[in-house]
């Protein structure tokens, strides 16, 4: 009798488990899925995810983070089969390369390019997203605790007192790192710039894989000085971190970032609807909230404690060919 009861109970339990699995399957998210690759910071992804959820409750919009180098490499190797429909926060050098390879769709008729500044509109295959300036950022607390001087030039960063106290993004993996490399190549010449970075590496604790790495290391007090993004530093300053943004004589290096539709998806109404919102209203909100440096012809944004009247570095010759040359040399 006991065995029979146990068998009955086992059958009931098995049936309940099967029923539960069936219910879970039927309750799965069957909304239209749209995948966006991006290289922005976590706090911006959270902001975007919330805005998408409010705007498109009937879509399952997945924002997948990839570092700049991985982002571009994935799209370049997989092309139209990369697994995403939209690319966001792609540095212009990478974007130009992907456009030339046929990975990006032509956005004429989808985006009004007349609303952007002339220098931000370089192609109809990617819409301007933001201007991302760089700076030398210091953690004043770390400097004071170690009795270290405030640097006033790139040359100062070679001082042995800063050994293992500097963080910089790797130009091979990060658009932010590459903009520092290109700016000094343009300012000093290729040979002098590479000699400088060879010497600087003695003081660099780590060459990070993303542009956010140096500021994160500063906030964690792992280093005293970072070659990082102005916008990220200001965000942390406004959150109470004891950081300071410095621009040296060569000016602020900068990159322009864009966004696009993966070729083959430009006739998909849902993708176009999401992208139009992303490249329009949402991008303006993100610039106003995080990246106020100018890309719109008739709009200016201000942000608390964001530097004003920034002198920008010479960022000419920012082509895919030049980038490939410099990165080969960087690796060797």
In SS3 terms, the chain reads as: CHHHHHHHHHHHHHHHHHHHHHHHHHCCCCCEEEEEEECCCHHHHHHHHHHHHHHCCCEEEEEEECCHHHHHHHHHHHHHHCCCCEEEEEEHHHHHHHHHCCCECCCECCECHHHECHHHCCCCCCEEEEEEEEEEEEEHHHHHHHCCCCCCCCHHHHCHHHCCCEEEECCCCCHHHHHHHHHHHHHHCHHHHHHHHHHHCCCEEEEECCCCHHHHHHHCCCCCEEEEEHHHHHHHHHCCCCEEEECCCCCECEEEEEEEEECCCCCCHHHHHHHHHHHHHHHHHHHHHCCCCCCECCCCCCCCCCCCCCCECCCCCCCHHHHHHHHHHHHC
Phi, then psi, of 49 in degrees rounded to 5? -60, -40
Interval 44-103: pLDDT, tens: 899 999 999 999 999 999 999 998 888 999 999 998 899 999 999 998 988 998 999 999
Provide CATH 3.40.190.10 ranges for the chain. 32-131+256-306, 132-254+323-331
Cα separation, 205 vs 219, whole angstroms? 15
Interval 236-251: pLDDT, tens: 999 999 999 999 999 9
- For the cut 80, the answer to whether the pLDDT of residue 25 exceeds it is no
Interval 100-122: pLDDT, tens: 999 999 999 999 999 999 999 99
pLDDT of 106 reads 98
Q: Which among 284, 281, 151 has a CA at the least distance from the CA of 224?
A: 151
pLDDT of 93 reads 84
What's the pTM value of the predicted model, to 2 decimals?
Answer: 0.76
- For the cut 80, the answer to whether the pLDDT of residue 9 exceeds it is no
Residue with tokens 């339990």: 13
Answer whether CATH 3.40.50.1820 is correct for domain 132-254+323-331.
Answer: no
Interval 247-293: pLDDT, tens: 999 999 999 999 999 999 999 999 999 999 999 999 999 999 889 99
- For the cut 70, the answer to whether the pLDDT of residue 2 exceeds it is no
pLDDT band at 28 (very low <50, low <70, confident <90, very high): low
pLDDT of 159 reads 98
Interval 129-174: pLDDT, tens: 999 999 999 999 999 999 999 999 999 999 999 999 999 999 988 8
CATH number for region 32-131+256-306 = 3.40.190.10
């Amino acid at each position: 009798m006991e065995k029979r009861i146990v068998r009955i109970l086992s059958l009931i339990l098995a049936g309940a488990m099967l029923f539960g699995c069936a219910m879970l399957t039927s309750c799965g998210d069957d909304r239209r899925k749209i995948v966006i690759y991006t290289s922005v910071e976590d706090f911006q992804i959270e902001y975007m995810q919330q805005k998408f959820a409010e705007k498109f409750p009937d879509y399952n919009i997945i924002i997948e983070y990839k570092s700049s180098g991985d982002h571009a490499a994935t799209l370049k190797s997989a092309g139209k089969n990369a697994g995403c429909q939209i690319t966001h926060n792609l540095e212009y050098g990478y974007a130009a390369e992907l456009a030339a390879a046929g990975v990006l769709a032509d956005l004429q008729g989808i985006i009004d390019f007349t609303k952007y500044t002339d220098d931000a509109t370089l192609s109809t295959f990617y819409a301007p997203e933001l201007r991302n300036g760089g700076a030398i950022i210091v953690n004043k607390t770390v400097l004071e605790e170690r009795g270290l001087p405030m640097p006033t030039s790139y040359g100062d960063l070679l001082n042995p007192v800063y050994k293992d106290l500097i963080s910089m993004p790797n130009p091979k993996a990060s658009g932010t790192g590459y903009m520092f490399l290109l700016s000094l190549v343009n300012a000093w010449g290729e040979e002098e710039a590479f000699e400088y970075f060879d010497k600087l590496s003695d003081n660099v604790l780590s060459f990070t894989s993303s542009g956010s790495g140096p500021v994160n290391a500063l906030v964690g007090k792992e280093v005293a000085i970072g070659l990082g993004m102005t916008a990220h530093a200001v965000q942390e300053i406004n959150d109470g971190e004891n950081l300071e943004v410095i621009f040296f004589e060569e000016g602020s290096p900068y990159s322009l970032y864009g966004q696009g539709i993966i070729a083959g998806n430009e006739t998909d109404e849902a993708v176009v609807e999401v992208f139009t919102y992303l490249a329009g209203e949402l991008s303006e909100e993100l610039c106003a909230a995080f990246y106020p440096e100018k890309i719109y012809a008739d709009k200016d944004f201000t942000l608390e404690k964001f530097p004003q009247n920034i002198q920008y570095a010479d960022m000419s010759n920012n082509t895919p060919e030049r980038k490939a040359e410099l990165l080969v040399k960087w690796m060797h």
